[in-house]
Amino acid sequence: MNQDIVGYDMPHYLHLLTGHYMVQEPRYYARRPRGTNDWLLTATLSGRGRFGTGPGQLVAEPRDLVMIPPRTKHDYGALPGENEWELIWAHFHPRAHWHDWLAWPEHTPGLMRMPIVDDRDWREVKACFRRVHNYATGVGRRYGQDLAMNALERLLLCCQSILASEQPRLDERILTVLQFINTELAQEMDIASMAESVSLSPSRFAHVFRQQVGVSPMHYLDLQRLQRATQLLERTTKSVSQIAFEVGFDPVHFSLRFKQHTGLSPRAYRAQKMSA
């Protein structure tokens, strides 16, 4: 079960990839020196695990949720001396409006931890996470991925309500840019123009954006364009070229980038969804 992953290599998935492991190998580990291009959320159900990001590390106890942002060097595994470690995990690309819910307390740079103390809260969190996994892995279930994403949204909202006043809000300047990106995807924009719109220098803006959102401004823009494109391919009869222009890509670059993101060309993706 050991994994030594040197890049962003992950199985192709559209929105969400989940697993439920009972680790009984003391030497089990996963190591990602360059991180991944998505978010990772885990819940420890029993036993204890260890997470690290270079010099920083934490021990995940039962009832601990741990979240790792994109492109964060990390490794994790069963804690030495433990007989077992049971965890549920989800790799996901957040929907546009989720980012304000992902500002969890940092235990150490790149590792966010939320211990669930209250019994009732833990029952709800655990049930939500199991629902995410069951929908995501249900064979032949129509709209399974959509149901899984809705269940994950509920899980994140549940965590948000637990954090309540302890959770910091996004900087209003970053919120302004996020809202602009999500409503004006077709417009040409770069870091300089985004920074100017909120009266920050490009370097300061890029630093604050990555710190609060977890990815660079241009990577966030790219992900939102691709997410909107998948919705248009699924729900409209617009041509691939029309969709590319509507979300701010030129058609050639769009097809290449879409295939990198989903593993399918736009036409193949649409055909797959139509036959589901």
Same domain, 26 and 151: yes
Same domain, 218 and 269: yes
The conformation of residue 85, written as its DSSP 8-state character, comes to E
Last residue of a domain, one of 166, 201, 232: 166
| pLDDT (average), residues 218-240 | 90
Same domain, 144 and 15: yes
Same domain, 27 and 150: yes
What counts of helices (H) and strands (E) characterise the chain?
A: 9, 11
Same domain, 81 and 184: no
Same domain, 161 and 176: no
| pLDDT at position 169 | 67
d(CA 13, CA 148): 13
Q: Is the pLDDT of residue 272 over 90?
A: no
Tokens of 47: 């036993």
Last residue of a domain, one of 114, 149, 166: 166
Residue located via tokens 């790792």:
68
Last residue of a domain, one of 113, 141, 166: 166
Structural domain harbouring 198: 172-275
CA atoms within 13 A on the CB side of 134: 7
Tally Cβ neighbours within 10 Å of residue 239.
12
Output phi, psi for 274, to 5 deg. Answer: -70, -30
User: How remote is the C-alpha of 195 from its chain's centroid?
Assistant: 24
Same domain, 45 and 161: yes
Same domain, 152 and 211: no
Same domain, 47 and 148: yes
| pLDDT (average), residues 117-145 | 89
How many domains in the chain?
2
pLDDT tens digits, one per residue of 71-113? 888 989 888 877 789 999 999 999 888 888 888 888 888 899 9
CB 200 within 8 A of CB 66: no
Q: Is the pLDDT of residue 62 over 90?
A: yes
Same domain, 146 and 48: yes
Task: Report the predicted TM-score, pTM, of the whole model to 2 decimal places.
Answer: 0.60
Same domain, 25 and 152: yes
